Amino acid sequence: MEGNMEGSIVRVTVPAGAEDGYEVRIGSGLLARIPAEVAVLLPGARPFVVTDANLREAGHLAAMAGEAFEDVYSIDPPGETSKTIETVEKIIDAMEQKRFGRDTVVLALGGGTVGDVAGFAAAIYKRGVPCVQIPTTTVAQADSAIGGKTGVDSRLSKNAYGAFHNPVRVYVDCATLKTLSERDYRAGLVESVKHGMIMDAEYFEYIESHMDGILARDDAALLHLAEKNCAIKGHVVAEDPKEQGLRRILNYGHTIGHAVESLSGYALLHGEAVAIGIVGACRIGEALGTGTGETTSRARTVLEKLGMPEAIEGISKEPILDTMRRDKKSVGGQARFVLVRDIGETDPAGGGYAVEVPATVIEETLSELGAG
């Protein structure tokens, strides 16, 4: 992965295996540049914008283009409950009704739900059209907009439908993070914590020591987080574009996290659920003798400073176990876990990517986390 600074913009190229790589542009106040730059990137392409009501209210669409884009679809209601195959069908219907063809470029302006849904629609529309990801939340800028994963949830599990469809470009405008609610902003930072825990102890230490600036949304802190997240995520997906090995470490905290998120009816935000999952993974590592109490303590301290929940409330163990059996890392119907030995170092057992854990340890961990 290569990167360089041009003016106030950091440009990072993410290789994509045998496919062409793509560029991530990181900076503050990038939205207004996008229409002209996309026109140069894809001459003659017809832009179709997918966003949601929250983004319209925040003014991001107006900042990006004013009234320049005629074709805009707003996901309603905003959020995870609209991350469904029905929403994808509505987007495709809207493009068909306006006679969009293979010359379409989908612009995904929003958070993780917008990026996943719009990216999936682009992946399957007319057998695939280009997509530009424009993430506007902490979780999307840290994780979901980079790497080409797209998809939607089924009634039973997260991301049951999906496809790998790399964006042709990603714009990370850190200024958009200043419009987020405090809860959304803090929850999204859990993905940054995850990156430090699985791969970069120095980055984790930066988060520990710069928490005040991060929570204050200091410009320098936001830019540093974006650059480090892009570097870590970009390295991992370049090494393993289709999630056959190394890329599985990005699911750290997500085995329990995805289960409690969906079973909460999405009352828990993604980052809040993953925070619980990270603590659970730390406790499992301790129980297996591969993790340490110090790692658990440092993780919990950072997550507490972010205001993340520490316990599972109102959900019993059996539905969690059943949902985890449908997790994408499961083998033979048994959940597998990403574990860390120390901050920045995954557990080498099973490559650290999909560790088999005895059922008794999982059940004891869920009880410790508060599951009934």
| pLDDT, tens only, 297-306 | 999 999 999 9
In the residue annotation, 90 being an active-site residue is answered as no
Domains of the chain plus CATH, in order, are: 2-180 (3.40.50.1970), 243-368 (1.20.1090.10)
β-pairing, 104-110 vs 46-52, is parallel
Residues 6+ apart with CB under 8 A from 40: none
Residue in 258, 283, 298, 336 annotated catalytic? 258
- pLDDT-derived band at 5 (thresholds 50, 70, 90) equals very low
In the residue annotation, 243 being an active-site residue is answered as yes
Checking if the pLDDT of 18 tops 60, the result is no
- pLDDT-derived band at 155 (thresholds 50, 70, 90) equals confident
How distant, in Å, are the alpha carbons of 71, 112, 151, 190, 356 from that of 269? 30, 11, 18, 11, 27
Average pLDDT over residues 219-242: 90
DSSP 263-295: HTTT-S-HHHHHHHHHHHHHHHHHHHTSS-HHH
Average pLDDT over residues 78-105: 95
- pLDDT-derived band at 67 (thresholds 50, 70, 90) equals low
**pLDDT in the model for residue 120:** 98
How distant, in Å, are the alpha carbons of 14, 21, 41, 299 from that of 231? 9, 14, 23, 21
Residue in 54, 159, 229, 251 annotated catalytic? 251
**pLDDT in the model for residue 329:** 67
Q: What is the pLDDT of residues 304-329, one digit of tens each?
A: 999 999 899 999 999 999 999 877 66
Residues 6+ apart with CB under 8 A from 333: 325
Q: What is the pLDDT of residues 279-298, one digit of tens each?
A: 999 999 999 998 999 999 99
Q: What is the pLDDT of residues 38-55, one digit of tens each?
A: 999 999 999 999 999 888
Q: Could you tell me which of 140, 98, 142 has the C-alpha nearest to residue 119? A: 140
The pLDDT mean for the chain works out to 90
In the residue annotation, 294 being an active-site residue is answered as no
Residue in 228, 248, 254, 298 annotated catalytic? 254
For the stretch 226-229, contacts whose Cβ atoms lie closer than 8 Å and that sit 24 or more positions apart, written own/partner, are 226/10, 226/26, 226/141, 226/142, 226/172, 226/174, 227/3, 227/10, 227/12, 227/26, 228/192, 228/195, 228/200, 228/203, 229/141, 229/142, 229/143, 229/146, 229/191, 229/192, 229/195
**pLDDT in the model for residue 4:** 46
Checking if the pLDDT of 135 tops 80, the result is yes
In the residue annotation, 149 being an active-site residue is answered as yes
Average pLDDT over residues 152-172: 91
Checking if the pLDDT of 2 tops 50, the result is no
Q: What is the pLDDT of residues 68-88, one digit of tens each?
A: 677 999 999 998 899 999 999
Residue in 270, 283, 329, 336 annotated catalytic? 270
- pLDDT-derived band at 64 (thresholds 50, 70, 90) equals confident
- pTM for the predicted model, two decimal places: 0.90
Average pLDDT over residues 11-20: 70
In the residue annotation, 248 being an active-site residue is answered as no
Please give the single-letter amino acid code of residue 110: G
Residue in 25, 83, 158, 243 annotated catalytic? 243
Angle (deg, nearest 10), helices 270-288 and 359-368:
130
Residue in 25, 60, 83, 149 annotated catalytic? 149
Checking if the pLDDT of 351 tops 60, the result is no
In the residue annotation, 270 being an active-site residue is answered as yes
In the residue annotation, 210 being an active-site residue is answered as no
Residue in 60, 80, 158, 191 annotated catalytic? 191
Residue in 158, 247, 298, 329 annotated catalytic? 247
How distant, in Å, are the alpha carbons of 8, 26, 177, 182, 185 from that of 216? 21, 20, 11, 10, 11
**pLDDT in the model for residue 13:** 83
